[in-house]
Structure 1
Amino acid sequence: MYICSMFIKKYSSELLLVIIMLVAAILRFYNFFQLPFSWDELSAWNRLHFDSFSDLINQGVKPDGHPAGVQVFLYYWIQLFGDKEWVVKLPFNLMGLFSIFVFYRIALIWWNKNTGLIGASFMASLQFFVLYSPIARPYISGLFLSLLMVYFWSKYIWVARHRKDLLGFVLFAALSAYNHHFSLLFAAIVGLTGLFLIAKNQWKEYLLAGLLIFVLYIPHLPIFFHQLSIGGIGGEGNWLARFILFLWFILPIAIGYYYSLLVNPVLQFSMLIFSFPYLLLLLFGQKEGFSKSFLVPMLILVFFLSISTLIISRQHYKLIFKQPYEVAAKSLQASLNENVSAFLLYNGIPSYENYSLKKYNLSSKATLSVYKQDYKVSEMDSILLEISQERLLAVGLPAHYYSLIQQHFPYLITRENAYTVESYLWSKQKPEKQVVFHKLISSQNFEKKQNLWNVAQNRIYRNKQGVANFQFTNQQEWGFSYGDSLKNMLTNYGDIIDVEVEIRADKPIEEALIVGVISVDGKEDIWRGVAFKNQGFGRNNQQKIFLSIDTRTLLNEPDFSHATFKCYIWNRRKEAFLVESINLYQRNLNPIKYALFYSIK
């Protein structure tokens, strides 16, 4: 017991680091073998299938906007080990895990073990690091490579000026440059920092090291300039250490921000992962260290808050498996398992979806992508008429298509919310159980006066059967409107408003618009309108027009409670037609659609 107690006391920091690494491994490898590709990863996978290295560079790297490093690595990796999702993700997840250990070693040089342990606990459990760790893109690899760069740089600057450490700095600075433009930027910032810290007699070898990094990067310069041309690129010394760490954290953000404003928008959350560890060193770094009585409760508190937020508040393990292409393939498989034919209509790149379909042994024949097709509603109506399958799986479509789909497939069987999309399974035949697509807010057929509707009664026309319609002539630009507060209309901030208008005319109406306007405190108007010719379809002199408004993309949540909505028809070219009815519906929000940016409710 005494020997065991002495061992634990002597190696307490190392044992705590092992525990941190184990927790990090569990969080990163949970259900790892079932983890699907994200859109970004499928984009990279889609640019790997070339017969030559030159084709890879010209067609797989140059158009992308990222340096060649990760793409070249993946090109050879899948040739050796295959392209299953877990195989492609494995090296990145391992780099994410071992980044924590490298960070700890850096903290030992700059501060002490306790700083390293607290920072490592954050890196182990914050969603920022857990999310990007298994993603096979240049973010977590850039973190790993840039940390190794800083580790060797720190040994050379702060510990002893050994040339082997300087060579380590050169190697990993060059690899960081090949990895991502922001890790290249960070490598440049670190390198320039050293110019202010080295002794005069070390200038020559340090400048030669910088020159060597540049020489190693020369083969990549044609790619860099090509991407740039297309807008693609995206104690004593305590105060000094803090100042350097502050610069390392803030400069990449500031440069990325102003580059995004002045040249091309490149700044994303993922770009900040390269400099974020130095914020942790800045916040928790101190020469004296923490007492053990403070350290262990601190680590427990960090893990409790970070992991509970990760799992409960951010729903990470629900969100990360709800990738659009994966959801589409699994939903299609579920329908076909019931021996009911189904057609997949989706908004995505076909080669990406085909990867997921192949994964579940599904055919891609009964599928159609609307990605960048910009089908008019009338064109989509013709497509839907041609579908012979009993069911239609619609995933990630433009919002106004769904009301049209309901005309052909009236019954909604399931709705599944996913990250960035919703998946709807529709049926021609009435099932035993149905799901409500949207709920009626208000309906106007002009038979009687209604609250919230402003209707010119002298424009109501009754046909021979006595049915009331609202009349627009070639002399009239305006007619009726509906208005209410969003709080009265919708259950939740972020719900979608679906508007359906049915008209009758002797010829197709081209330029009239159905308009929705959101006002906040009567001051700020958010205007959305669709022309009848683009969002309508018709048969036998009748047309239906659809407008959908996602309030979450147009409003900040604090404005929701005092915002109003107004809907009307703008007959801007004064065409003649009759409005038979107009209906407004509420469609429930997808709580995880914008989960990367918004809280999940």
Structure 2
Amino acid sequence: MPFLKKYNISDDKLIVFFILVLASVLRLYNFWNLPFMHDEFSAIIRSQYDNLSDLIELGIKTDSHPAGVQIFIYYWIKIFGIHEWSLKLPFIICGIISVLLVYKIAKMWFGSESAVFSALAIAVLQFTIFYSQLARPYSPGLCFVLLSTLYWTKLVFRKEYNKTNIILYLLAASIATYTHAFSLFFVFIQGITGLFFLKGKVNYRYIFINLLIVIFYIPHIQIFITQMQRGDIGGWLAKPNINFIPDFFSYTFHYSQIFYFAIIVSVYFLSTSSKNRKKGANKFRLISLLWFTITFLTAYLYSVYRHPILQFSTLLFVFPFIIMLAFSYVANLKTNIKYIFIVGITLVGVLSLVTTRQHYHIMYNQGFDGIVNNISEDSKKYNIVNPTIVLQAPNQKMFEYYLEKNNLDNNYFKIVDGKLSASLDNLISNKKPKILFYGWADYENLNTVAYLKDNFKYILNKESFFNSEYFVFSDTLIDEYISKDIEQNHEIVDSSNEFIFNSHRPGFSKPLEIQTDSLKLNKFSVINVIASINKMNSNTDALLVMDILDSKGKSLWWSASKINSFYHDSTETKVYHSKRIYENYPISKGSVLKAYIWKQDSNFLQVESIEFYISHIQPIEFGLYKSLTP
């Protein structure tokens, strides 16, 4: 191209420019309308302290992440206030810079062709886009891990011990240690790795530089020790299973067989059509594989033998090196071949991002803002001035941000810790609302949904979001209504018109037993049980238990609700327990579902019946991490 030659612009520079523009568009598209998620709200709420000392003691030591990003958010909010776009922008910029750094590292390690395809993959994958759009430690952690690697390579393999390289390596590695536990771990294994490739006097310089990184970390050691004593990241993760790595790569490649095929074909064809003769490439292939493997095994073993910490985001900081490894054999391509594969990967990656993963629909319509927006619209639709609103979330300040933004009253009914209470029952009994708006967010239990379905005749509207649901309940048919989604009902009652439990003594009620093979279950099914109780005390110690046992009688998963959480003064009390089966699907053949009351004290308890039904959640509720197909 004459224009490119005139201004000395090479094909590679043009391609890199295209990749950076693509990465920017995919991350910055409509970013001013990106809503906050739970993790971001958690960081914002923990930044609301008057001084740095309180922030560290109450907002950082109680968390599982290092102090760096939380302190940054603390001061950033003081300057710019709490706005989605202003808080997310620095993290998005880190994500874009990371794409450029992947190119620079891959070019240094394996050559320009390998670098182009490595950077392109990082640019279009939802995994890296999602964590770039999240105001949490992931994007800056990745950025500084990559920056550290760039200058680590110059020191260790190029022996370029000048002031610029030393200072930038120290700065990048030190910031990474303050950003995320696994960017800290990466700096550690990177520093150790360098020792195996150094000889002679240079060794002492390298050791001294890395000792400085340790010294710079000393102010954070007490925070690290306090957080390690907690052991886990909140107790909500399950231990990883043997399918973690296949699931991880399915997720990173958009759960798309077409995208998988495109990447595999690209890697195979591009790698076999030419030979990469880059000097030292095998060392970097080994390093890439070791960094990924060591990080995974460390997190996996810690999760199995101490506390679960392994999740997809854990591997973000070493994921680019696996991508570089995959494309490390690519070299000396003909220009037309290179462009064909760049266009192909771009099209398949972006199309699967938009359609298969529905990233821009799910990410830009989150639960907290989506529920409140629906309440605002439905209040106008049904002409309700003072709507009855019931909201359920880990921290109600998360909803209140969007209520204030939509000029809605903060005086709504709050469900705390997922617990139903007599006051909710009194609200419905005494106020008798014509319409009730209900929303839950962030993996809250579904007991309240079952309760409201049981207490209202109609559902006028329902919307699903990632980790969230919204309902409009009514006893009056104002408009069209939708199904309550109650299927495959079963019930146990005593045929002699007595009770399935009627005693002061501790013990078990007659169980409701169902062969799971007879149920039409899929991974989005929810199992609901309802116990009708005639007599109980407010402090009765008993559980409504749901247990699934395999064909040999071994419990596959067990869960329960405390019946005193549902106590109220009226004669009859209903207890609700609902459980998603997603993480336990598929259920093994020959299994049995048992539902029963387990009483553990001497208070009198009289149970009339236990009822069972199946409902469903929508795929979008897991959609940012899981496949959207049933």
TM tier, smaller = 0.7 to 0.9
Question: Per the alignment, do residues 129 and 7 of structure 1 end up closer, same or farther by CA in structure 2, a change over 3 Å counting?
Answer: farther
Give the Cα separation in 1 of the matches to 2:539 and 2:188: 60
Aligned to 1:416: 463
1:281 aligns with 2:317: no
Correspondence list, 1:317-336, <5 A: 317-336=360-379
Measured after TM superposition, the shift of residue 534 of structure 1 is 3.4
What is the CA distance between 1:16 and its match in structure 2?
1.4
Q: Counterparts of 1:226 and 1:527 in 2: how far apart (Å)?
A: 32
Q: Aligned to 2:349, which of 306, 331, 343?
A: 306
CA RMSD of aligned residues (A): 3.3
Q: Could you say which residue in structure 2 is the equivalent of 1:208?
A: 208
Quote the offset at 1:246 in angstroms: 1.5
Alpha-carbon offset, residue 480 of structure 1 = 7.0
Following TM superposition, by how much is the alpha carbon of 1:227 offset from its aligned partner in structure 2, in angstroms? Answer: 2.3
Is the aligned partner of 1:258 residue 2:301?
Answer: yes
Shift in CA distance, 209/386, structure 1 to aligned 2, threshold 3 Å:
farther
What's the secondary structure of 1:259's corresponding residue?
helix
Distance 1:483 1:185 in 2: 48
Contact 1:513 1:569 in 2 (8 A): yes
Report if aligned partners of 2:500, 2:509 keep a CA contact under 8 Å in 1.
Answer: no
> Out of 546, 552, 565, which is 2:576 matched to?
546
Q: Among residues 428, 431, 436, which one is paired with 1:392 in the alignment?
A: 436
Q: Is the Cα contact below 8 Å between 2:113 and 2:330 reproduced in 1?
A: no
- Name structure 1 gaps, 5 residues minimum: 447-454, 462-468
Aligned pairs for 1:464-543 within 5 A: 479=510, 481-486=512-517, 488-490=518-520, 492-502=522-532, 504=534, 515-521=545-551, 524-526=554-556, 528=558, 530=560, 533-534=563-564, 537=567, 541-543=571-573
The answer for the alignment partner of 2:154 in structure 1 is 155
Task: Indicate whether 1:369 and 2:368 are aligned.
Answer: no
Distance apart, 1:3 and its partner CA: 1.8
Shift, 1:106, TM fit: 1.1
Fraction of identical pairs, as percent:
28
Query: Given the superposition, is the C-alpha separation of residues 576 and 203 from structure 1 closer, same or farther in structure 2, using an over 3 Å criterion?
Result: closer
Q: Distance in 2 between matches of 1:121 and 1:387?
A: 58
Give the unaligned 5+ runs of structure 2: 235-277
Per the TM alignment, residue 10 of structure 1 is displaced from its structure 2 partner at its CA by: 6.1
Q: Using the alignment, how far apart are the partners of 1:483 and 1:183 within structure 2?
A: 48
Q: Which moved more, 1:92-101 or 1:54-63?
A: 54-63
1:78 alignment partner in structure 2 = 77
SS in 2 for 1:179: coil
Contact 1:68-1:179 within 8 A present in 2 as well: yes
Q: 1:493 corresponds to which letter in structure 2?
A: K
2:431 equivalent to 1:431: no
Query: 1:62-101 to 2 correspondence within 5 Å?
Result: 62-101=61-100
| Mapped partners of 2:211, 2:607: distance in 1 | 75
CA distance in 1, matches of 2:171, 2:136: 20
Q: Say whether 1:242 aligns with 2:285.
A: yes
> Which is greater in Rg?
1
Q: Aligned residue for 1:590?
A: 618
Counterpart of 2:574, as a letter, is K
> Normalization by structure 2: what TM-score?
0.82
Q: Give the drift of 1:346.
A: 1.3
Deviation at 1:290, TM superposition (A): 3.6
- In structure 2, the residue matched to 1:102 is 101
Match of 2:453 among 389, 393, 406: 406
Name the counterpart of 2:224: 224
1:185 CA drift (Å): 1.2
| Aligned-pair CA distance for 1:383 | 4.7
1:442-453 equivalence runs, <5 A: 442=489
Task: Between 3-12 and 426-435, report the one with greater CA deviation.
Answer: 3-12
- Please state whether the residue corresponding to 1:45 is helix, strand or coil: helix
* Residue 342, structure 1, aligned to residue 378, structure 2: no
Listed one character per residue, the Cα deviations across residues 407-436 of structure 1 (whole Å, up to 9, x for unaligned) are: 544321111111122222212433221121
User: Structure 1 residue 591: deviation in Å?
Assistant: 1.2
Q: Classify 1:10/1:519 alpha carbon distance in 2 versus 1 (closer, same or farther; 3 Å).
A: same
In 2: Cα distance, 1:12 partner to 1:271 partner: 35
Aligned residue identity for 1:392 = L
| 1:150 CA displacement | 0.9
Asked if 1:13 corresponds to 2:1, the answer is no
Determine the C-alpha separation between the residues in 1 that align with 2:555 and 2:360: 38
Letter of the 1:394 counterpart: Y
CA separation of 1:186 and 1:481: change in aligned 2, threshold 3 A? closer
Contact 1:438–1:585, Cα closer than 8 Å, also in 2: no
Distance 1:523 1:174, change over 3 A: same
Against the structure 1 CA distance between its residues 367 and 335, is the aligned structure 2 distance closer, same or farther, given a 3 Å change threshold? farther
CA-to-aligned-CA distance 1:21-41 (integer Å, 9 cap, x gap): 222122112221111111111
Following superposition, the deviation at residue 212 of structure 1 comes to 2.0
1:187 aligns with 2:216: no
Structure 1 residue matching 2:168: 3-state secondary structure = helix
State yes or no: 1:146 paired with 2:148.
no
Residue deviations 1:505-528 (CA, integer Å, cap 9, x gap): 598995776554434556654464
Q: In structure 2, do the counterparts of structure 1 residues 569 and 46 end up closer, same or farther at CA, with 3 Å as the change threshold? A: closer
